[in-house]
Structure 1
Amino acid sequence: MAKYKFKLPDIGEGIAEAEVVAWHVKVGDEIEEDQGIADMMTDKATVEMESPVTGTVVELNGEEGDMLAIGSVLAVIETDEIPDEEEDPPAAAAKLSEERAREEAKAAAEAAAEEPEEAEPEPVEETPVAEPTPEPGVAPTRVMASPAVRKRAAELGVDLANVKPQAGERIRHSDLDQYLTYGATYLTPGSGRKRDDEEIKVIGLRRKIAENMAASKRNIPHFTYVEEIDVTALEATRADLNATRGDRPKLTVLPLIIAAICKTLPDFPMINATYDDEAGRVTRHGSVHLGMATQTDTGLIVPVIADAQDKNVWQLAMEIARLSDAARTGKATQAELTGGTLTLTSLGPLGGIATTPVINRPQVAIIGPNKIVERPVIVDGEIEARKLMNLSISCDHRVVDGYDAASYVQALKTLLETPVLIFAD
């Protein structure tokens, strides 16, 4: 038996070290050739290290979160195979399974396209529900709530005495929602519970996000501009397109917003730009490589829709689904995570009233659509129900002036409020 020293290979141009994100084996494990040993993260991607030999793991170097230099010993494997101990492991040990990732992402996109529209809940007849009988010798708790709230609480098995009203003395549906969401946080005083303190080591993607966000806020003078947009016509257009989509993916509002962004950018090249601090040079990009901020279990990842300006809304919808799935499953390639010239970040239904997103350095702008709400609006002297959405843009004030940012958003507003212009030549 020989001991083979598996050295960390060169896993990217200009990469000097990588972080141990996760070990897939432990000392004493029997492993096969091409079996995953560890996930290593660089500034550009996470790469799975695969064993070049079959044998027994006798040594692992480093803990999760440690940085290892390229060429240092990652693991020692006892094996019957006798490779040259000083020879670097083959490049195949660091390869990403890109073809498999593309196939899985395509399948996920097709599955997402088949998801049915959410049905409106059927109205529930509100009937009074009797108060629970208090235990003998215990003074009843005075609870004020409508019959509808009482009925809903009874169906959910919630004792309204444990729900704290946020305004006045009457418990409303919103108070019940808060209780169901946050539990003990909204219990009446004295009946809550606490959690034990816990320490979590900041490693891997979470550490990279922390470093990048800190560098962005430290180096970039941000300013944010917010505008309200009437998307009633845009939502109607989206509904019409979905009604005739056939086997194409279901459209959300994002592909339409991206199409409008791409159509307006040629007149505002300072928005689609990157800034090299050290060289003191701004590059205004002709193509729109749009980053899509995507929430994953490990943190925020920004895959890039390359040449978004060349894609129609259906192609954009497919790319959004494919890249989002690749990001969430850890299958996004290095090429799909780099090269962005502008970023779009959306929290969907959690979008809130307004956001002040942090710029994805070295880009100079980031756009954040917020949630769509229906509100009464005065139109030509008449009150109408309209669908409204706030749209935020954060810009690097070293490159983009406030007037330019406002002018760009107004141009974008024109297209989103008159969506036929998005499709006009």
Structure 2
Amino acid sequence: MGTHVIKMPDIGEGIAEVELSQWHVKVGDLVVEDQVLADVMTDKAMVDIPSPVHGKVIALGGQPGEVMAVGSVLISIEVEGAGNLKESTAPAPVKEAPVAPKAATVVESKPAAAAAPRPAAVCQGPMVAREADERPLASPAVRKHALDLGIQLRLVRGSGPAGRVLHEDLEAYLAQGQSNASAPVAAAYAQRHDEEQIQVIGMRRKIAQRMQDATQRAAHFSYVEEIDVTAIEELRAHLNEKHGASRGKLTLLPFLVRALVVALRDFPQMNARYDDEAQVITRLGAVHVGVATQSDVGLMVPVVRHAEARSLWDSAAQISRLANAARNGKASRDELSGSTITLTSLGALGGIVSTPVLNLPEVAIVGVNKIVERPMVVKGQVVIRKMMNLSSSFDHRVVDGMDAALFIQAIRGLLEQPATLFVE
């Protein structure tokens, strides 16, 4: 038997250290080649570290939340063969662009049957008994999903690491025909004294750091304006009816991206980055729109590059592809960096007003609130119109209040008269 020591790989862009976010294995586990061993967090993305060998885990090189230097020992695996100590750098992360050094190779994911997958919930049985005050491990998205389905999470067996409940566990629970009725009604009124401490690591730590940095460094101010989106919604419905089957369905977001592109022609100071250390403002001709996207691990901002050169359907396809990649944890670092202005929307949950936090070093972020039907006075008549607020924030160190208001009014005019979106 021999020992194969895997070191933290160099994942490019001059990164000297990364944060160990989560282990997918423990000491004593048998692993196979290409099986994901750990998640690590760079400044820009969460990436998977796969195993280059078959063997048995005999030592872990760090704890979740620990910052590890590139080249430090990540994990030791006992392998078949001579007793010589072998060392290697882990293969290039499977969720990243191929930017690793020549010594590392990009390893493509193999079918699930070839790897050592986590046990499926149905194999363990979908239901498990927990104490009334026991809080099972689950992400916020899974907890909300369970709440929407009317499932008591403590009754669901988790198939993830450390018994974490996953979305597929909820599906397995429902498939077995379990329901809230299986739990004593009295449990809903029992006193609770449980507490849960959650270590802030990985993506959540990065989000916290970026939000804190943004609010401390930038001089935020917000501007809110209501927009009549009746006409643009009618146009969207017409285009979807005529071209949806062949080109794909359009949401409101590609129209908003188009409105940003057109409005920025007259307000280039909004499509900019501010280096507050060098005291330099860089205005960019290219419009790289960041689209804030919620995922199980937190808020991510994939980037629609060169939005100024894209059609409605091209923008829509990019938004959909990038959002899915972000939610599935497969967005590359390049896809999560380089934005020049950000668009954020909570869709139907968008509320009436919000105060978005800037995505530094950008100087503007446009927030989209939900669409509601309201009675409005149009040409002296009370009519029902579809109304939506834009809640946008700006860096007052760079953007004056008047310019911010004029910029949003320009977007309003484009959306209320949608033909102007396409007039050159």
Residues 1:253 and 2:237 aligned together: no
* Alignment correspondent of 2:221: 223
- Residue pairs, 1:130-169, within 5 angstroms: none
Counterpart contact for 1:53–1:81, Cα < 8 Å: no
CA shift, 1:83, in A, is: 10
Q: What is the rounded CA distance, in whole Å, between the counterparts of 2:81 and 2:36 in structure 1?
A: 18
Say whether the 8 Å CA contact 1:52–1:93 is kept in structure 2: no
Q: CA deviation at 1:272?
A: 0.6
Q: State the SS of the aligned residue for 1:370.
A: strand
**C-alpha contact (below 8 Å) 1:303/1:324 kept by paired residues:** yes
C-alpha change, 1:17 and 1:375, in structure 2 (3 Å) is: same
Q: Is the 8 A contact 2:20 2:63 kept in 1?
A: yes
Q: 2: CA distance between counterparts of 1:48 and 1:36?
A: 6
Distance 1:381 1:305, change over 3 A: same
How far off is 1:32 after superposition?
A: 2.0
Tell me, in whole angstroms, the C-alpha distance in 2 between the residues paired with 1:355 and 1:373: 15
Amino acid of the structure 1 residue aligned with 2:350:
G
Q: Which residue of 1 aligns with 2:409?
A: 410
Q: Give the partner amino acid of 1:387.
A: K
- The match for 1:135 is none
Cα distance in 1, alignment partners of residues 92 and 377 from structure 2: 64
Distance 1:415 1:377 in 2: 19
Aligned to 2:65: 65
- Tell me if structure 2 keeps the 8 A contact 1:4–1:83: no
Aligned residues: 339
How many angstroms does 1:306 deviate by? 0.6
| Aligned equivalents of 1:193, 1:389: Cα separation in 2 | 42
Taking the TM superposition and a 5 Å limit, the aligned residue runs for 1:279-290 are 279-290=278-289
Structure 1 residues 387, 192: closer, same or farther in 2, change over 3 A? farther
> Could you tell me how far apart the structure 2 residues matched to 1:411 and 1:323 are?
27
Equivalent position amino acid for 2:353 in 1 = A
Does the CA contact (< 8 Å) of 2:5 and 2:87 recur in 1? no
Distance 2:216 2:83 in 1: 49
Equivalent in the alignment of 1:206: 204
- How does the TM-score come out when normalised to structure 2? 0.76
Change over 3 Å in CA distance of 1:344–1:30 after alignment to 2: same
- Does the Cα contact within 8 Å between 1:34 and 1:93 map onto a contact in 2? no
The amino acid across from 2:415 in the alignment is L
Alignment of 1:101-140 (within 5 A): none
Counterpart Cα distance in 1 of 2:355 and 2:30: 50
3-state DSSP of counterpart to 1:247: helix
| Contact kept in structure 2, 1:223 and 1:397, CA below 8 Å | yes
2:236 to 228, 238, 250: 238
The runs of 5 or more residues in structure 1 that have no matched partner are: 104-155, 157-189
Which residue of 2 is the match for residue 400 of structure 1? Answer: 399
Q: Distance in 2 between matches of 1:353 and 1:256?
A: 20
Q: Which moved more, 1:366-375 or 1:193-202?
A: 193-202
8 Å contact from structure 1 (residues 368, 393) kept in 2: yes
Higher mean alpha-carbon deviation, 2-11 vs 213-222, is at: 2-11
What does 1:382-393 align with in structure 2 at a 5 Å threshold? 382-393=381-392
Write the deviation string for residues 91-135 of structure 1: whole angstroms up to 9, x where unpaired.
Answer: x343436699x99xxxxxxxxxxxxxxxxxxxxxxxxxxxxxxxx
The 3 A distance-change label for structure 1 pair 83 and 353 is farther
Q: Does 73-82 or 211-220 show the bigger shift? A: 73-82
Greater gyration radius = 1
* Residues 6, 87 of structure 2: 8 Å contact kept: no
The letter for the 2-side match of 1:75 is I
- Helix, strand or coil for the counterpart of 1:9? coil
2:271 corresponding residue in structure 1:
272
In the alignment, the residues of structure 1 paired with residue 229 and residue 264 of structure 2 have an alpha-carbon distance, to the nearest angstrom, of: 20
Residue aligning to 1:165: none
% same residue: 52
- 8 A contact 1:54–1:81 mirrored in 2: no
Cα deviation, residue 44, structure 1:
1.8
Deviation at 1:350, TM superposition (A): 1.0
Separation in 2 of the partners of 1:207 and 1:302?
A: 15
The residue matched to 1:199 in structure 2 has which SS? coil
| Structure 1 equivalent of residue 139 of structure 2 | none
3-state DSSP of counterpart to 1:14: coil
Structure 2 matches for 1:14-33, cutoff 5 A? 14-33=14-33
Tell me by how many angstroms 1:232 deviates: 1.0
Q: One-letter code of the match for 2:242?
A: T
Matched, 1:419 2:413: no
Give the equivalent residue in structure 2 for 1:74: 74
Three-state SS of the structure 2 residue aligned to 1:94 is coil
The AA in structure 1 aligned to 2:321 is R
Runs of 4+ aligned structure 1 residues displaced above 4 Å come to 81-88, 97-100, 190-195
Q: Matches of 2:55 and 2:92 in 1, distance apart?
A: 15
Deviations 1:347-402 (A, max 9, x none): 11111111110000111110001111111111111111111111121000111000
Q: Which residue is 1:294 aligned to? A: 293
Q: Which residue is equivalent to 1:140?
A: none
Residue 7 of structure 2 corresponds to: 7
Residues 14-62 of structure 1, C-alpha deviations (whole Å, 9 max, x = no match)? 2121111121211112222232211111102222112222221110121
User: CA contact under 8 A between 2:35 and 2:50: conserved in structure 1?
Assistant: yes
CA contact (8 A) 2:358 2:365 kept: yes
CA RMSD of superposed structures (Å) = 2.5
Corresponding residue SS for 1:211: helix
